[in-house]
Amino acid sequence: MSRLEIFAFNKDGDAFHSGDHKTPWGGSIAIWQKLSESYNGPFSLGTGTVKIWKMWKELSDMQDVALGFTFDRCWVKRENIKLLTDALQVFYNLYLEPDGIVDTIPRAIEVLRKAAADESLRGVAFNGTSVSECLWYVRQEVSEAHREECYTCAQCEPRPYNLDNDEGHWELFEELAIPKEMPPETPEAWALQAHKDCTHSDLRVACPGCIQRVVREAQAQALRNAAEQVEAASNDINSPMRIRVVIRELRQQADELVGKAD
């Protein structure tokens, strides 16, 4: 069965297999599908992905990080892994978990967090599915005659990709140029940051900040409704001061929720 594979780079820059999850459909393809459905309509491997790939760097920071994570030759420095896991966690919570998508992303996040804590590593990289040729191994040049006769010697075995000696890799956060001096401290903060310049009104294509705002406004309205019900009851029974205190606290909580959404 194919797997989503995660590779790490040691101090010398050599890639090695760090972890995997047996269901890659919950990784790259799920990300392409959800973004395509939001911006391009029905998803298909034939055309939908091509369209969403072309929108990279035009989405919210969180969406751009999640999409860039799926691209070939992408790697992430160890000091940037937390930014990656925050973005992937937000994406999973908002787009994948509600639809019951398998937990490929959360499993990958576990592996990535361990890598972030390992000071012997320079960073991590990804292979979306183990069925395709892994770009983090390099086929060594040998003659066809030799290859036909031998598949077991050291010359025939692929060697690990090296960050210092091989070419074609690119660092996700250097390419996106997301500000490093003010990184979001939590996934929720990242989602709200995405709302800053958003003009979406349709929740099907809204950024995570829009969705967070709607959720908070609904929670605030529920608190206001509860306060009104308590107030109505207190008027009927000439309630003691404690009920009035509860009413005030409910309304205060509602105002605080709306304040967080702004």
- The DSSP bridge partners found for residue 10 are 121
| Greater model confidence, 2 or 252 | 252
DSSP 155: T
Q: What is the mean pLDDT of the segment spanning 5-9? A: 94
Domain annotation covers residue 72:
yes
Q: How confident is the model at residue 2 (pLDDT cuts 50, 70, 90)?
A: low
Q: Which domain holds residue 80?
A: 4-180
Domain annotation covers residue 194:
no
Domain annotation covers residue 185:
no
Helix 208-237 vs helix 241-261: crossing angle, to nearest 10: 170
213-242: pLDDT as tens digits: 656 666 677 777 777 777 776 665 555 666
Whether residue 171 sits in one domain with residue 41: yes
Domain annotation covers residue 74:
yes
Whether residue 249 sits in one domain with residue 159: no
Whether residue 157 sits in one domain with residue 229: no
39-67: pLDDT as tens digits: 766 667 765 557 888 889 888 788 889 99
Q: What φ, ψ does residue 14 adopt, rounded to 5°?
A: -80, 135
Whether residue 155 sits in one domain with residue 215: no
Whether residue 175 sits in one domain with residue 136: yes
Domain annotation covers residue 196:
no
This prediction's pTM: 0.67
Of 161, 180, 199, which closes a domain?
180
- Provide the residue type at 196 as one letter: K
Whether residue 145 sits in one domain with residue 240: no
Domain annotation covers residue 248:
yes
Q: What's the pLDDT at 238?
A: 56
Whether residue 132 sits in one domain with residue 12: yes
Domain annotation covers residue 158:
yes
Total domains, the chain: 2
Q: Dump the DSSP string for 51-104.
A: HHHHTTTSS-HHHHHHHHTTSTTEEEEGGGHHHHHHHHHHHIIIIIGGGT--TH
pLDDT greater than 60 at residue 197: no
Q: How confident is the model at residue 125 (pLDDT cuts 50, 70, 90)?
A: very high
176-192: pLDDT as tens digits: 987 654 445 555 565 55
Whether residue 162 sits in one domain with residue 214: no
Q: What's the pLDDT at 131?
A: 56
Whether residue 108 sits in one domain with residue 67: yes
Whether residue 35 sits in one domain with residue 151: yes
Of 144, 163, 180, which closes a domain?
180
Backbone φ/ψ region at 123: left (φ over 0), alpha (ψ -120 to 50), beta: left
Q: How confident is the model at residue 251 (pLDDT cuts 50, 70, 90)?
A: confident
Whether residue 162 sits in one domain with residue 66: yes
Backbone φ/ψ region at 2: left (φ over 0), alpha (ψ -120 to 50), beta: beta
Domain annotation covers residue 40:
yes
Whether residue 101 sits in one domain with residue 21: yes
